[in-house]
Chain A
Amino acid sequence: MISSILHYEFLQNAFLSGIIIGIIAPLLGVFIVVRRLSLIADALSHVTLAGIAGSLYLSQTFTGLALLNPLYLGIVASVSGSVLIERLRRLYKHYEELAIPIIMSGGIGISAIFISLAKGFSTDLFSYLFGSVSAVSRQDLFIVVAIAVLVLAFIYLFYKELFVLSFDDEYAKASGLPAKWIHLLFMIITALVIAASMRIVGILLVSSLMTLPVAASIRIAKGFKQAILYAIVFGEAAVIAGLVSAFYLDLAPGGTIVVISILILLVVIIGKKISMSVRA
């Protein structure tokens, strides 16, 4: 395996992107889960699909756009989706969750139109839906690195504000923090992480990498920093083991990563039950 990674650029791209995503997706995921925004991540990933499908259609139709990286339109769609969700949530103050099905079905609907215009599923599209070990280009890797830098800078600079906002929204506003702006930035950053992660885990499974490692970590973590640390450890383990098994078994890495994440979650849940009954 190691020698293959040293030999093949595509494997380096996939593993380096995977390792980076294994850090940033669970890191942001902790905030998403404790703020009960897991479903929003799912909705955003479907909007990203619309951008990807649109881009694939455009590059099929216009030869001048043949080399356009679908990630760019994916990012544009995802970020616009995040801003739209916020707008809708404010419009429907008493039905905030309504924003999720509106945006999600909108995303899938537009994707369906572009996919049929582009004459059905291509292998390219399949790799965007479920991830791929072989399709990650050097350019994709650079985009992932750039997004990771933004995400880490954002969390570093706004950690304490994000903590207050996540823990107690009303208290954050009462203490005069610019809650609205930080929240909007947070949504945009979430959209970026979703766009970055989909190359490896696939659009349909992106939100799982933001939620499953966190679901395991909050079962056992003492404190918030520890919750973040465990989530990253679990996420990273799932990504690396998932990529290796996907490579050897010729499977879509989205599938293997998610199944391993669920196994980790089960081990944590059962392990905690056992240790509690031993102590009791």
Chain B
Amino acid sequence: MAQLPLIELKSVSFQYDYTQVLTNISLKVEQGDFLALLGPNGSGKSTLLKLILGLMKSTSGQIELFGQPANTFKHREWIGYVSQKSNSFNSGFPATVKEVVASGLTKKIGLFKRHLASQNSKVIQALRDVGMDGFADRNIGELSGGQQQRVFIARALVAEPKLLILDEPTVGIDHENVQSFYDMLASLNEDHQMTMILVTHDVDTVSNRISHVACLNQTIHFHGFKNDYDSLSADQLNAWYGHVVRKIHHTKEEKTQ
């Protein structure tokens, strides 16, 4: 059976009030891809993710998830989502790390059914995968930003998603932790064959982990293998983004580190 792309966008546009946010976006994400979605602030990256996640509806065009139209797609639990830190969660919330991670199973368990004791081991396993199993009984608000973000990854992982979408997950995390955070993502991608879409500004840090790059500024200017992206000229990028962009260069040695 030919592999269906996990995500396929066909000429998708999105308008908010009277502002055109996204124009004619076509994009395919295949099984096992590690796609970095790059673009300046206000380029529509978060909006694009929200369209894929079903949090917003496109003005025109089609979005298919796992071969099904997004608006009738029933298996949202196949898609894990980690939002920008502090975006939507209240840090004074009285919940333990374990409770937060278990909440990632909600859709998978289904309405009117309760958590089972057997799911507890999945929660612990997910926490182990992100190196946070020692914190299971702590309140989420007591953890540092980087630790919280790992817990949110565990919340996404516990439902065993086929695709993980991360929206600038390292904003507010200090530099040393960013590096190990990406190591963890890379191992999920390689060891668990988990497809990833990562919106990021840390192009430098992440560039030796990703397989594909998409450059977005209202429309997709480039989508392809990471190596092809590396051979683009800085002038080209500047033309797309409208301002000077730092070009990333990594030597072979760095990549194999």
Query: In the complex, what residues of A have CB within 8 A of residue B88's CB?
Result: 168-171
- Cβ–Cβ contact B53 & A227, under 8 A: no
Query: In the complex, what residues of A have CB within 8 A of residue B112's CB?
Result: 157
**B107: which of A157, A175, A222, A223 is its contact (CB, 8 Å)?**
A175
- Cβ–Cβ contact A175 & B99, under 8 A: no
- Cβ–Cβ contact A160 & B94, under 8 A: no
B55 at the interface (CB under 8 A from A): yes
**B94: which of A164, A174, A175, A226 is its contact (CB, 8 Å)?**
A226
Q: Which residue of B lies closest to A178 (CB)?
A: B111
B128 at the interface (CB under 8 A from A): no
- Cβ–Cβ contact A159 & B107, under 8 A: no
- Cβ–Cβ contact B76 & A222, under 8 A: no
Query: In the complex, what residues of B have CB within 8 A of residue A171's CB?
Result: 81, 83, 88-89, 155
Query: In the complex, what residues of B have CB within 8 A of residue A221's CB?
Result: 94
**CB within 8 Å for A167 and B53 given contacts A174-B76, A223-B96:** no
**B99: which of A36, A176, A225 is its contact (CB, 8 Å)?**
A225
A72 at the interface (CB under 8 A from B): no
**B106: which of A157, A160, A226 is its contact (CB, 8 Å)?**
A160
Query: In the complex, what residues of B have CB within 8 A of residue A34's CB?
Result: 90, 93-94
Query: In the complex, what residues of B have CB within 8 A of residue A166's CB?
Result: 93
Contact code string B99-122 (vs A, CB < 8 Å = 1, else 0): 110111111010110110000000
Q: Which residue of B lies closest to A231 (CB)?
A: B94
- Cβ–Cβ contact A167 & B95, under 8 A: yes
Report how far A170 CA is from B90 CA in the complex, Å. Answer: 12
Q: Which residue of B lies closest to A214 (CB)?
A: B94
Report how far A158 CA is from B159 CA in the complex, Å. Answer: 19
CB distance from B240 to the nearest CB of A (A): 29
* Interface residues in A214-272 (C-beta closer than 8 Å to B): 217-218, 221-227
Report how far A163 CA is from B100 CA in the complex, Å. Answer: 9
- Cβ–Cβ contact A224 & B96, under 8 A: yes
Most buried by A among B95, B109, B112, B155: B95
CB distance from A231 to the nearest CB of B (A): 10
Report how far A158 CA is from B111 CA in the complex, Å. Answer: 7
- Cβ–Cβ contact A177 & B94, under 8 A: no
CB distance from B76 to the nearest CB of A (A): 3
A138 at the interface (CB under 8 A from B): no
Query: In the complex, what residues of B have CB within 8 A of residue A160's CB?
Result: 102-103, 105-106, 109, 114-115
**A177: which of B90, B92, B106 is its contact (CB, 8 Å)?**
B106
**B81: which of A159, A175, A177, A222 is its contact (CB, 8 Å)?**
A175
Query: In the complex, what residues of B have CB within 8 A of residue A223's CB?
Result: 94-96, 98-99, 137, 139
**B103: which of A158, A167, A217, A218 is its contact (CB, 8 Å)?**
A167
Chain B residue total in the interface (Cβ 8 A): 37
Report how far A225 CA is from B111 CA in the complex, Å. Answer: 20
- Cβ–Cβ contact B100 & A175, under 8 A: no
Counting chain A residues whose Cβ lies within 8 A of the other chain, the interface size class is 20 to 34
B54 at the interface (CB under 8 A from A): yes
Query: In the complex, what residues of B have CB within 8 A of residue A218's CB?
Result: 92, 94
Query: In the complex, what residues of A have CB within 8 A of residue B103's CB?
Result: 160, 163-164, 167-168
Query: In the complex, what residues of B have CB within 8 A of residue A164's CB?
Result: 103, 106
Contact code string A138-180 (vs B, CB < 8 Å = 1, else 0): 0000000000000000000111110110111111111111100
**B55: which of A157, A163, A174, A222 is its contact (CB, 8 Å)?**
A174
CB distance from B32 to the nearest CB of A (A): 22
Report how far A177 CA is from B107 CA in the complex, Å. Answer: 6
Q: Which residue of A lies closest to B73 (CB)?
A: A176
CB distance from B83 to the nearest CB of A (A): 6
Report how far A166 CA is from B139 CA in the complex, Å. Answer: 16
Q: Which residue of B lies closest to A176 (CB)?
A: B76
**CB within 8 Å for A167 and B81 given contacts A160-B106, A174-B55, A174-B76:** no
- Cβ–Cβ contact A174 & B106, under 8 A: no
- Cβ–Cβ contact B137 & A222, under 8 A: yes
* Interface residues in B9-65 (C-beta closer than 8 Å to A): 53-55
Query: In the complex, what residues of B have CB within 8 A of residue A172's CB?
Result: 106
B3 at the interface (CB under 8 A from A): no
**A170: which of B55, B74, B79, B93 is its contact (CB, 8 Å)?**
B55
CB distance from B122 to the nearest CB of A (A): 14
A–B complex contacts, Cβ < 8 Å, 25 sampled: A36-B90, A161-B106, A161-B111, A163-B95, A163-B106, A164-B103, A164-B106, A167-B90, A169-B88, A171-B81, A171-B88, A171-B89, A173-B55, A174-B53, A174-B76, A175-B76, A176-B107, A177-B106, A222-B94, A223-B94, A223-B98, A223-B99, A223-B139, A224-B95, A226-B94
Known: A167-B90, A173-B54, A222-B139. 17 other contacts (CB 8 A): A157-B111, A160-B114, A161-B106, A164-B103, A167-B103, A170-B55, A171-B81, A171-B89, A172-B106, A175-B107, A176-B74, A176-B107, A217-B94, A223-B95, A223-B96, A224-B94, A224-B99
Q: Which 7 A-B pairs have the closest CB atoms?
A: A176-B76, A223-B96, A170-B88, A227-B94, A174-B53, A175-B107, A224-B95
